[in-house]
């Protein structure tokens, strides 16, 4: 079983869509996605600088659009789709498209709403996020409780992303838990925490107009790494994950339990491939960063099929 993994916010880099625009049909797709998301994806994916595309309103649609473009190109190149899919944070919207739960245009409309709502929620209180690398997990969580910080992403491989008030994050960096490194992240707020509660209801209202299909391939959820078989349940999970932790560690454990034999991280790739190499040692992984990586991904996909 080969799984397509769709990355989350922070994986975008300036100009990363330029190479994809050289493929037939991509410009038309991006035009449609831009209209649905209310974001100029071509401008921001080719010309905007790092500070501009860090804006949550822009970053989230860019990332989902890139994953959709890469997924379509891979299916054409390989002649088949992956056997399963999962997404990290906002990447879950791209995964829903891959599983047949929503259309690409529906996902792009929803990610536009999600990005704007989360940016608005983040603007209410100065907050941020930091990655904590290494150390004893119980000790890390105890320190977070002391500082009133929240674990936002359990990424596996000894990495937890924490979120909360900026003074508390500064205190954690000044006095880290023994054996850990604390790396501040360039994001605009405390995503996947209670600070995002206002965004939950905004997204819930938008999703209420969507009639989903049930997943056509295996679909995992960030909530607990379980397999989702209902389209309605998948949409409900997408809403609630805005203010709850991403359990990518449990997704990777579930990949192993379900006999996954390879992972393909869709554009803009790199982060999830790195986590897989640490958390799923020995499992073949291909990161599709540019169209040049499509052949390797197709080979992995068809090699497993054969």
pLDDT at 157: 81
Say whether pLDDT at 11 is over 90: no
Of the candidates 205, 57, 36, the one whose C-alpha atom is nearest the C-alpha of residue 104 is 36
Say whether pLDDT at 304 is over 60: no
Do 2-122+193-305 and 124-184 come out as alike in CATH topology? no
Contact between residue 262 and residue 287 where contact means Cβ atoms under 8 Å apart: no
- Whether the CA torsion 141, 143, 148, 152 is positive or negative: it is negative
Report the relative pairing of strands 127-134 and 262-265 from DSSP bridges. Answer: unpaired
Which residue out of 67, 89, 130, 254 is catalytically annotated? 89
pLDDT at 224: 95
Looking at 3.40.50.460, 3.30.70.930, 3.30.420.40, 3.30.70.250, the CATH number of the domain 124-184 comes to 3.30.70.250
Say whether pLDDT at 251 is over 50: yes
Residue 192 annotated as catalytic:
yes
Contact between residue 6 and residue 99 where contact means Cβ atoms under 8 Å apart: no
Say whether pLDDT at 210 is over 80: yes
Distance CA 65, CA 58 (A): 11
Contact between residue 98 and residue 85 where contact means Cβ atoms under 8 Å apart: yes
Of the candidates 289, 193, 293, 266, the one whose C-alpha atom is nearest the C-alpha of residue 2 is 266
Which residue out of 11, 44, 192, 254 is catalytically annotated? 192
- CA angle, 138 then 143 then 146, to 5°: 130
Provide, rounded to the nearest whole percent, the portion of the chain with pLDDT above 90. 91
Residue 138 annotated as catalytic:
no
Give the residue extent of every domain in the chain. Answer: 2-122+193-305, 124-184
pTM of the model: 0.94
145, with CB counted inside 10 A (0-12, 13-18, 19+), is: exposed
Say whether pLDDT at 306 is over 50: no
2-122+193-305: which CATH architecture?
A: 3-Layer(aba) Sandwich (3.40)
Say whether pLDDT at 305 is over 60: no
b/e 256-265 (16+ beta carbons within 10 angstroms → b): eeeebebbbb
- What pLDDT digit, counting tens, does each position of 70-105 carry? 999 999 999 999 999 999 999 999 999 999 999 999
């Amino acid at each position: 079983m080969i799984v397509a993994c769709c990355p989350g916010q922070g994986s975008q880099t300036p100009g990363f869509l330029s190479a994809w625009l050289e493929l037939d049909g991509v410009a038309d797709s991006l035009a449609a996605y831009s209209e649905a998301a209310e974001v100029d994806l071509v401008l921001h994916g080719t010309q905007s600088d790092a500070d501009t595309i860090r804006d949550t309103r822009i970053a989230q649609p860019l990332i989902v659009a890139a994953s959709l473009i890469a997924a379509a190109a891979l299916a054409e190149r390989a002649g088949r789709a992956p056997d399963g899919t999962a997404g990290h944070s906002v990447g879950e919207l791209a995964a829903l498209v891959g599983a047949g739960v929503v259309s690409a245009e529906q996902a792009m409309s929803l990610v536009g709403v999600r990005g704007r709502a989360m940016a608005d929620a983040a603007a209410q209180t100065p907050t941020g996020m930091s990655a904590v690398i290494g150390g004893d997990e119980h000790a890390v969580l105890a320190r977070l409780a002391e500082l009133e910080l929240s674990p936002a992403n359990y990424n596996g491989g000894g990495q937890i992303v924490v979120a909360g008030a900026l003074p508390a994050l500064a205190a954690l960096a000044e006095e880290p838990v023994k054996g850990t490194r604390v790396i501040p992240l360039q994001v605009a707020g405390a995503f996947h925490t209670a600070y995002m509660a206002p965004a939950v209801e905004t997204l819930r209202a938008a999703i209420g107009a969507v009639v989903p299909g049930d997943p056509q391939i295996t679909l995992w959820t960030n909530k607990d790494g379980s397999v989702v078989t209902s389209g309605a349940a998948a949409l409900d999970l997408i809403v609630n994950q805005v203010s709850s932790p991403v359990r990518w560690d449990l997704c990777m454990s579930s990949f192993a339990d379900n006999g996954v034999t390879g992972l393909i991280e869709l554009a803009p790739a790199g982060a999830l491939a790195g986590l897989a190499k640490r958390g799923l040692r020995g499992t073949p992984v291909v990161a599709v960063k540019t169209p040049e990586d499509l052949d390797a991904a197709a080979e992995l996909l068809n090699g497993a099929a054969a």
